[in-house]
A = this chain, B = another copy of it.
């Protein structure tokens, strides 16, 4: 396969896949982006995207990927693939209307993609939130395949609080197409926090109605509805709930101890959805991991927004960047 510098969305058929719960999905097609050239890249960098993102990582993480960026398209090949269940190009057929796709299933599909792309190992695997969950699973399923690892604002088992947030969103999704607006508005509460809303949504002292925080919620809901689908949102939120590296592996500790990659785990001090104790737990139970914490006013969304702080820590811990 002759690789060129390509930034366009590509598709690859990986055939059928048996999901973790035994369900067969057929004709799986993975949508993915490659920035740079796989064949002569110094390093293969694989980015796992989060809930409503897509494989065009440069669009949602522009400060991280580019000619002069930390993920340098002149030197590295940077790959990002759209996850199973998303609505950004990855597709499959299934007899069940709502098959449960776990984080492990997402990883299985991407391992097949990597094999098809003749990638023998990933030099640097990284992701935040649902992306981080995939990174951990991949590094447990195939430790030798992953040389270096970076996860941020994620966990190794989704919390009951996180599941409760997701269930409230699914309850809204079941009420019709505009349920996606409400689901997104709920999610925003967990991506930000009390203080974020307090300083960004300010009203006239004499207001009694039409508050800016209310408009913000509606705006965010509408914005997502225009670019996403309720069924994809439903599926991905179930995937997130499923996250538990300890499932059928004895314990969380045993699963995490299988990871051999040199690892950086970052927690964000203001993240209420994935509080820092979750990232501290991950690092503590891995053989070769360092924990770092960043201050942010953005809460969970800090993993997308605090790129300067993230880059500084990446350079500190990974020589090749």
Chain A interface SS verdict (over half): helix
What sequence of 0s and 1s flags, for each residue 191-210 of chain A, a beta carbon within 8 Å of any chain B beta carbon? Answer: 00110011011110111110
- The answer on a CB contact under 8 Å between B176 and A213 is no
What sequence of 0s and 1s flags, for each residue 226-259 of chain A, a beta carbon within 8 Å of any chain B beta carbon? Answer: 0000000000001001101011100100000000
What sequence of 0s and 1s flags, for each residue 285-314 of chain A, a beta carbon within 8 Å of any chain B beta carbon? Answer: 000000000000000000000000000000
- The answer on a CB contact under 8 Å between B160 and A171 is no
Would you give the shortest CB distance from A285 to chain B, in whole angstroms? 15
What sequence of 0s and 1s flags, for each residue 177-199 of chain A, a beta carbon within 8 Å of any chain B beta carbon? Answer: 01101100110110001100110
What sequence of 0s and 1s flags, for each residue 40-82 of chain A, a beta carbon within 8 Å of any chain B beta carbon? Answer: 0000000000000000000000000000000000000000000
Q: Which residues of B contact A207 (CB under 8 A)?
A: 244, 247
How many copies of this chain? 2
- The answer on a CB contact under 8 Å between A171 and B161 is no
- In angstroms, Cα B159 to Cα A102, docked, is 37
Assess A217 versus B164: contact at CB under 8 Å? Given A159-B197, A208-B242, A241-B209: yes
- In angstroms, Cα B241 to Cα A197, docked, is 14
Q: Which residues of B contact A221 (CB under 8 A)?
A: 171
Residue A6 at the B interface, CB < 8 A?
A: no
Would you give the shortest CB distance from A256 to chain B, in whole angstroms? 14
Q: Which residues of B contact A178 (CB under 8 A)?
A: 171, 174-175
B100, B181, B272: the one within 8 Å of A208 (CB): B100
- The answer on a CB contact under 8 Å between A167 and B217 is yes
- The answer on a CB contact under 8 Å between B160 and A206 is no
- In angstroms, Cα B208 to Cα A171, docked, is 19
Q: Which residues of B contact A181 (CB under 8 A)?
A: 171
Q: Which residues of B contact A160 (CB under 8 A)?
A: 197-198, 200-203, 211-213
6 other contacts beyond A164-B197, A171-B218, A172-B179, with CB at 8 A cut-off?
A100-B208, A102-B208, A160-B203, A171-B217, A174-B178, A206-B247
